[in-house]
Structure 1
Amino acid sequence: MVFITGVSSGIGAATARLLGAAGYRVFGGARDPERIQAAPGVELVACDVRDEISVRTAVDQIIDRAGRIDVLVNNAGVSLAGPIEATSVEEAQALFDTNVFGALRTIRSVLPDMRARRSGLIVNVSSVLGFLPAPFMGLYAASKHAIEGLSETLDHEVRNLGIRVVLLEPSFTRTNLDLGSKRTAAVIADYADALARSHRAVVQQIATAPRPETVAEKIAAIIKGPHRLREPADRRARLLRTLRRYAPVKGVDSSLRKTFGL
């Protein structure tokens, strides 16, 4: 049985469709499930990862109906683009409340059942920005860095209990999350030109980026395959991880700035 958060669109929706079609019993969490059409084999539950009661209620409902949760896919997330200087503390807190604390809420809610059965898999959807920050995506990258640290630590803590954790690291994906990133409310003129060039570069990258179905196929492979803590979701993500690890720092820095039009 698989529980996926954030199934209203993008990677979450594609993963729910794929796993449901493959014969898994899938529960999809969404803030307003009545507004979306459930794919065959997918049962929708109301789940707002920003709300502790909503998360716990969703998990209790799933266990009541299915008896267990074998796999949790922490996919729900939001983005934020803009200079760090222009990012308010309130904007940063809202982003972390979904991307980091939302994942923490679902993890804490499913672990008692997994511990009792000494079995379980938690897949946390990170990003290449979790190990390779990008300009004007500082707080989003910081949230994914936090997920990387949380996941690696958690895997050590639960491994002896029969539970494993996987970090899924997509590169740009053709979803509304990447293409329609929310902008910081504040605007600082000194950054405007570089921000505009960076945005154009991102749009160009997304035009040829993998579709969410590619990431969904990777999640399916993770569920069936041998455990690896970090799983790049596509060829570009694998290349970027290799470059980050082995290429000279100056070369990576220059390549990054060129990619983002700086």
Structure 2
Amino acid sequence: TVDSMILAIVMVYNSIGKWRPKLRLLGDNVPSVDVIVAVCNERIDIVQDTVRAALNADYPKNRFRVIVADDGRSQKLEAWILQLAVDTPNLHYTARAKNGGKLDYKAGNLNHAMRFAETLPGGAAKFVAGLDADMIPERRWLRAVAAHIVRDSEMGMVCPTQLFYNMPNGDPLCQSSLINWKCADIFRDHVGCGWNLGSGWIVRRLAIDDINGFPTDCLVEDICSSMLAMAEGWKTAYIPEGLQYGLVPETYLGHVKQVSN
């Protein structure tokens, strides 16, 4: 088929291109990171899995914080987070007040979480990482993405591959998006145009400050933020390494809604 031919051509190109190496930060002398888990009315058990995995990162506990930014303002989730935080001092919960009907979606939630981080003891971290509510990171995730951003002072954003653990047999709707993760995103990275793809990313806070926060006037704040950062002179990177596992929509209608957004 035509799409298979295109996939094969791009994969051949990628096979001879310059791949980013797998890197890991070692030891305890690592930068501080604020990890934001963006939540908006997802099932609480799904959010709990992500939060537990984020807290279990192979990273010094005093060098990262997990901030659950809850746009759904779930009292049940808040109670669970606050209870867990009693014995987990690097876990925090925040929910912004209603904003008078202004629709700034996930971008607004991320910007609120970054402002919230400034109020925590020690102030904001130098780096900010983000996870979707349903994306479970591997323990090595934070050391992997942070390694790429700290080695280059001009690197503003790094984002890894997304994998999924509830993919139906045969992937009839192409929800795995392998043509993106294994081809298009690598191709873009080869030409210096790595995209923030929504989850698993890490950014240099200064780079986000340079673009006045995540853009709230579009639905693709992730991609748009990386493009704006590049326009300000920051480098961006995509690393073709599976470090997180999420959920695809379980219905056709849910899939159409996700793609249309």
Instruction: Using structure 1 for the length normalisation, give the TM-score.
Output: 0.37
Identify the structure with the greater helix proportion: 1
More strand by share: 2
Please, what TM-score do these two structures have when normalized by structure 2? 0.37
